[in-house]
């Protein structure tokens, strides 16, 4: 029997998937969690074979949960998301997740992925993988990416400058250049685009 933990902040989706997976003869849903912190706590307590984690959850997202569990629990994680973008895929795989698929897949497909991952294999949705492979190289320089990375949580220009040992004026120049290349209006939009595409 494959023991599965489900984590999704949308109660109706979580309950429906748990009910459908419960119909599978070889899958048992041992826990349902509404946020990332609860998922980590329950996974540590129950040590399920597979954790099926929504990407976007309160407290900790699915990738953060997978990163934490990789260090302390012998469980395999599958990330599911509505936003199956190449950057999200790269982030999920870097976390140690064994599977990645869009929420648009049916319960039978999800069950098949759970079996595959529980058996030691990895699974990445083919369409998402193709998008990731065809994603273009970033138009930004390495230093422009460093500046966006250092300011991804809203740090001030002065804080970014201190982190990277640059003058504040140099940081402003890099930010201005990045905004122009990406065609966005502010640093927050530039960071969002860079994260979405897996550049930072």
Whether residue 183 sits in one domain with residue 126: no
Structure tokens at 64: 């953060």
pLDDT in tens, 175-190: 999 999 888 999 999 9
Whether residue 108 sits in one domain with residue 12: yes
Which pLDDT score, from 0 to 100, does residue 132 have? 66
The number of folded domains in the chain is 2
Whether residue 79 sits in one domain with residue 11: yes
pLDDT in tens, 40-64: 999 999 999 999 999 989 999 999 9
Whether residue 191 sits in one domain with residue 107: no
Whether residue 116 sits in one domain with residue 74: yes
Whether residue 126 sits in one domain with residue 110: yes
Whether residue 157 sits in one domain with residue 111: no
CB 5 within 8 Å of CB 50: yes
Write down the pTM of the prediction.
Answer: 0.69
Structure tokens at 108: 């039978």
Whether residue 30 sits in one domain with residue 118: yes
> End of a domain among 134, 153, 170?
134
> End of a domain among 83, 105, 134?
134
Residue (of 98, 76, 84) closest to 126 by Cα position:
84
Range list of H helices, the chain? 11-22, 36-46, 62-72, 86-94, 107-118, 126-134, 142-150, 157-164, 168-182, 187-196
Whether residue 73 sits in one domain with residue 121: yes
> End of a domain among 116, 134, 152?
134
pLDDT in tens, 93-142: 888 899 998 888 888 999 999 999 999 999 988 877 776 666 556 788 99
Residue (of 1, 13, 52, 12) closest to 31 by Cα position:
52
Residue numbers of the domain that contains 156: 142-196
CATH code: domain of residue 150: 1.10.10.10
Residue (of 47, 51, 135) closest to 85 by Cα position:
135
Whether residue 120 sits in one domain with residue 78: yes
Strand order of the sheet with strand 50-54? 27-33, 2-7, 50-54, 76-81, 99-102, 123-124
Which pLDDT score, from 0 to 100, does residue 92 have? 82
Whether residue 54 sits in one domain with residue 80: yes
Residue 16 has pLDDT above 70, yes or no: yes
pLDDT in tens, 58-85: 999 999 999 999 988 889 999 998 866 6
d(C-alpha 156, C-alpha 41), whole Å: 34
Whether residue 107 sits in one domain with residue 10: yes
CATH code: domain of residue 64: 3.40.50.2300
129 vs 26, which has greater pLDDT?
Answer: 26
């Amino acid at each position: 029997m494959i023991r599965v933990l489900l984590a999704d902040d949308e109660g109706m989706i979580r309950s429906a998937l748990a009910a459908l997976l419960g119909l599978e003869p070889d899958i048992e849903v041992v826990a349902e969690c509404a946020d990332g912190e609860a998922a980590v706590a329950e996974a540590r307590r129950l040590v399920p074979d597979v954790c099926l984690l929504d990407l976007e959850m309160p407290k900790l997202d699915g990738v953060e949960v997978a990163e934490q569990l990789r260090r302390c629990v012998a469980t395999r994680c599958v990330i599911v998301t509505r936003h199956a973008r190449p950057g999200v895929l790269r982030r999920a795989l870097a976390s140690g997740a064994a599977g990645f698929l869009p929420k648009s897949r049916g319960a039978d497909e999800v069950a098949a992925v759970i079996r595959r991952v529980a058996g030691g294999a990895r699974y990445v949705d083919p369409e998402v993988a193709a998008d990731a492979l065809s994603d273009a190289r970033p138009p930004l320089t390495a230093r422009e990416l460093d500046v966006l990375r250092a300011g991804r949580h809203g740090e001030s220009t002065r804080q970014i400058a201190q982190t990277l040992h640059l003058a504040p004026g140099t940081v402003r120049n890099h930010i201005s250049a990045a905004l122009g290349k990406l065609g966005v209006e502010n640093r927050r939009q530039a960071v969002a685009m860079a994260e979405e595409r897996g550049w930072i």
